[in-house]
Amino acid sequence: MAWRGWAQRGWGCGQAWAQPAGSHSCEELTAALAPPRLLGRRFNFFIQQKCGFRKAPRKVEPRRSDTGTSSESYKRSALIPPVEETVFYPSPYPIRTLIKPLFFTVGFTGCAFGSAAIWQYESLKSRVQSYFDGIKADWLDSIRPQKEGDFRKEINKWWNNLSDGQRTVTGIIAANVFVFCLWRVPSLQRTMIRYFTSSPASKALCSPMLLSTFSHFSLFHMAANMYVLWSFSSSIVNILGQEQFMAVYLSAGVISNFVSYVCKVATGRYGPSLGASGAIMTVLAAVCTKIPEGRLAIIFLPMFTFTAGNALKAIIAMDTAGMILGWKFFDHAAHLGGALFGIWYITYGHELIWKNREPLVKIWHEMRTNGPKKGGGSK
């Protein structure tokens, strides 16, 4: 009977337990033990006791990277890494998550073009010295005894036979291959998923917008992107120059990822993205806009040719349809954002940004010429 009475007072007024003689009801015990209500009915939940079992608080589970079950959401593309165990934490106010990426996009784009302008200035200054150094190197090679089968000489010969555009994108391709190899290291999987895939629900928002531009999980994905980049490298560098091309390419990767962020927040699909497709779409769109009558062909069907202008229209139409209809194999929003940025830059951006770099170059020239002043103040 003692155990039954303890259970009656501790667990509540259940029908299965008989109430001992002389005991009080649960409501009477509650009224006697509760402190006086000094704050009115608004704060009753601090002092009021309930009879019966207390309901456990509901746990708020973090959202997965996409809607639906894991077997459905991660079968959408073979180009992304297997991230079934990766948990993303979308903000309760998704629009606010775009503020930091927006500032990062604007700031990084400005820094990229400013650095490219300074890089071009320094390149022009050193061009004369490089010319004389090249003449001296050729003279030394002519009097130096030649070695048969010199591997270094063959590499130099191959490098010198490349166009300026091909030499420029060689570093980009090497960076992509290096990151692709990092994906094969099991101990780096978490780091790669966090910093080399972009998603507005990830804890790292800004740095993946740039790093994911050099990230490929699938060998076919990387090979296709690098082949297109290599094919258009000579044309785009002839149009923009080496320095301006690098600024456009890096900025395009960040801008296309920001457009992808906006689309993912609007649709509620927070799946991760990676790849250089957005930046390469900018290159392709810029060349097709500048040379719309150029002839293009598909690698496996070289007998079918079409104009660059028609190819650009078809690509934009396909990516627009994919974004509206929710196709999940590619990040169509990033593709569309990159293509629109390439069209805008060739049409307006070159005049607005690159041709107005002279004030920055003058400031840099004065800093290099005058240097830090030594001594006291002005006279």
What residues contact residue 205 under an 8 Å CB cut-off, 6+ apart? 97, 100, 101, 104
Residue count (the chain): 379
Q: Look up 221 and say whether it is catalytic.
A: no
Residue labelled with tokens 């490089």? 130
Q: Look up 335 and say whether it is catalytic.
A: yes
4's enclosing H/E stretch is: helix 2-11
Q: How far apart are CA 330 and CA 322, in angstroms?
A: 8
- Tell me how far CA of residue 69 lies from CA of 76, 84, 89, in angstroms: 12, 10, 17
Q: 2: how many CB neighbours lie within 10 A of its CB?
A: 7
Q: Which two tokens stand for residue 124?
A: 């022009």
Alpha-carbon dihedral of residues 30, 35, 40, 43, nearest 10 degrees? Answer: -80
User: What amino acid is encoded at 62 in this protein?
Assistant: P
Q: How far apart are CA 196 and CA 175, in angstroms?
A: 13
Q: How far apart are CA 278 and CA 263, in angstroms?
A: 14
**b/e string for 108-135 if b means 16 or more Cβ within 10 A?**
bbeebbbebbbebbeeeeeeeeeeeeee
Q: How far apart are CA 188 and CA 197, in angstroms?
A: 13
**295-298 vs 301-307, strand pairing mode:** antiparallel
Q: Which of 142, 277, 332, 350 is catalytic?
A: 277
- Tell me how far CA of residue 228 lies from CA of 110, 141, 280, 322, in angstroms: 27, 36, 7, 21
Q: Which of 332, 335, 350, 365 is catalytic?
A: 335
Q: How far apart are CA 280 and CA 252, in angstroms?
A: 8
The H helix count followed by the E strand count for the chain is 15, 2
Enzyme catalytic residues: 277, 335
